[in-house]
Structures are given as C-alpha cells and as structure tokens.
Structure 1
Amino acid sequence: MPSTHVEKFVGAPRPNVFRALLDARSVRTWMVPDGMSSHIHEFDPRVGGRFRISLTYDLPTEAGKTTAHTDTFHGVFARVVPNREVVQTVEFETQDPDLSGEMTVTYTLDDVPGGTKVTARHDNLPPGLSAADNEVGFRMSLAKLAQLTEHAARH
C-alpha cells in the first residue's frame, strides 16, 4: 500500500512541537489542510487513548469521504515517546471500500540547529486516497504546525 513521507523544519524546540501534537486545541488549529475547518469530537492523547476528528470543506463544491462535505476519521494513539515520537492508527468513517482500512501516521521529532525536524509518515493509504493529494494536505498541516509552535516560541 502507498505511503506519504514529509519532512518539515520547525523553528521551535522539540518539547514545544511534541506538546502541539498532543494538545487537542493545537491539533484543531494545525491538523487541517487549507480550505477546511476542524472539529475535535474526542481526543485522549495517551497510549491506547482514542481520538475522533472531522474536517469539513469550506466550499460546498468539495466532496467529503464521510458525508457530502466532511471527512471524519477516528483512531488510537498506538505509541507516545515523550518529545520524540507519536504513532497513531487511523481509519476514515466511510462506506466507500476504496477509502476503508487502518492507516498508520507517525510523527518523529529530531533536534536540528535552530529547532526541530519533524518527519511525518502516513502508511497503508487505502487505494481510493491519492498519495499526491495526501502529501499536499500533510505539507499544509505541517506548515501550520510550524507557524503555531514558532509563534508560541517567540511569545
């Protein structure tokens, strides 16, 4: 199955970036591609903790995976290594068999001069999910993660 792999430099300390991965309010801000809004239904950021998130398209012309204009997904925090790694299992809530199946999202954080290197992998993409589109969304979200944590580091 296809995967998406993206790296992003974030000009903020690794603990700040790690906190943003596990804070529901932060996730609502950064884990949403441009042109969408986010709603956190459930978010328990510990190993075995569950989450459920909906992303809704701003324009009614965009088709969602769960409802007409919304992508809803749920999952579990499979691994949490403080200040180093977050691994989630994720599944879309959909009736479309081409978008079904458990995926794995892994965020790895490494110190680099001036900040943190975030390495994000999205493995086991279902056949109906374009790896190229997924990468674009991942890059948008990581840019928002950088903006959020860099702003917090300056203030």
Structure 2
Amino acid sequence: MTRTDRVSRLIAASPAAVYGALLDRAALEAWLPPDDMSGRIERWDPRPGGGFRMVLTYLDPTGSPGKTSEATDVVEVGFVDLVEPELVVQQAEFEADDPAYAGTMTMTWNLTGTGHGTEVTVTATGVPPGIGQADHEAGIASSLAHLAAYVEAAH
C-alpha cells in the first residue's frame, strides 16, 4: 500500500499570492527549507516540464542526517502540472546512495480560497520508506508555517 502524507494550513493571503510564492525562486529559497535547514536553488525553470534543483543544508549536521552527504539533501524537482492559482504538482527525487531514499515522490499543492485566505493542502505520495511519516509531516508543516509567514508579511 502506498503511503500518503498530508498536511494543511490556512494562510491569510489570496490563492494568487500563495501560488506566486510557490513559483518564485527567491521565495522558495526563503520559505521552503524546514526549520533545521537552509536552501539554495541551483537550477530554475518554472513551467510544466521544467523544475529546479535545490540543495538543502542542515544547520547542525550532528549525527550525519543528510541523504546526499552528511550535511545536505539534494533534490531534483520537476513541475508536472501548474494551474494558476489553485494547483502545483511536483515530482521530487533525492540524490542518495541509500535505496531507502530512492524513488520519485509526488507533492501536490492544492490552494483553495476561503473567506479568510487560502487553505493550502500538501499531499505527498510515493514517499521513500527511509523518510519517517511523522518527520515528513512535521517538515511539511514547518515549510507551510514559513510559507504563511512569508506571504502574510508581504500582504
């Protein structure tokens, strides 16, 4: 059975503002990395069939938590579908020698306008078995909190 990780958050901004932050290179570098990481985008092509390569660096690599090196996770992300301002579908693949982190994970970002902003629901399928569900959902929640802070401060 394929595991599905799902996290939602209400963000006090329009779907267009949230969608914009999902497709802006500088914005992604600012808000996407979870609390314990920083991020740098090395390649950027924001269109269906395009994508980006992001290097995530652990702020404290004690215990060698990285998937690509002891201090980093490198992920190749492809844009599968972009429907402005309501949907972003990405396929992510980590660079890792450990087969527990191999495979392509699909991340679907659904943006639903509400009277109070945008309900953002991130659904991940095909999550590599080496990524624990609780840790993954906490990482997504952290990124969503950063996304909320980023777009809410801009509006």
Give the TM-score band, short-chain normalised. Answer: over 0.9
What does residue 27 of structure 2 align with?
26
Q: Distance in 2 between matches of 1:126 and 1:120?
A: 16
1:16 aligned onto 2:14: no
User: How many pairs does the alignment contain?
Assistant: 153
* TM-fit CA distance, 1:4: 0.9
Counterparts of 2:42 and 2:31, CA distance in 1: 16
Q: Which stretch has the larger CA shift, 17-26 or 53-62?
A: 53-62
Partner of 1:95: 97
Q: SS of the counterpart of 1:80?
A: strand
Stretches (4+) displaced over 6 A: none
In the alignment, what sits opposite 1:121?
123
Residue in structure 2 matched with residue 5 of structure 1 by the alignment: 6
Displacement of 1:151? 0.6
What is the TM-score of this pair, normalised by structure 1? 0.96
CA distance in 2, matches of 1:94, 1:60: 16
Look up the equivalent residue of 2:40 and give its one-letter code: H
Give the residue type in structure 1 aligned to 2:113: D
Aligned residue identity for 1:55 = L
The TM-score normalised by the length of structure 2 is: 0.96
SS at match of 1:95: coil
In 2, the alpha carbon distance for the partners of 1:60 and 1:76 equals: 27
Separation of aligned partners in 1, 2:91 and 2:43: 15
Cα RMSD (Å) of the superposition?
0.8
1:106 to 105, 108, 113: 108
Q: Identity rate of aligned residues, in percent?
A: 41
Counterpart in 1 of 2:73? Answer: 71
In structure 1, stretches of 5+ residues that fail to align are: none
SS of the residue corresponding to residue 89 of structure 2 reads: strand
Deviation for aligned residue 1:22: 0.3
1:75 and 1:60 mapped to 2: Cα distance?
23
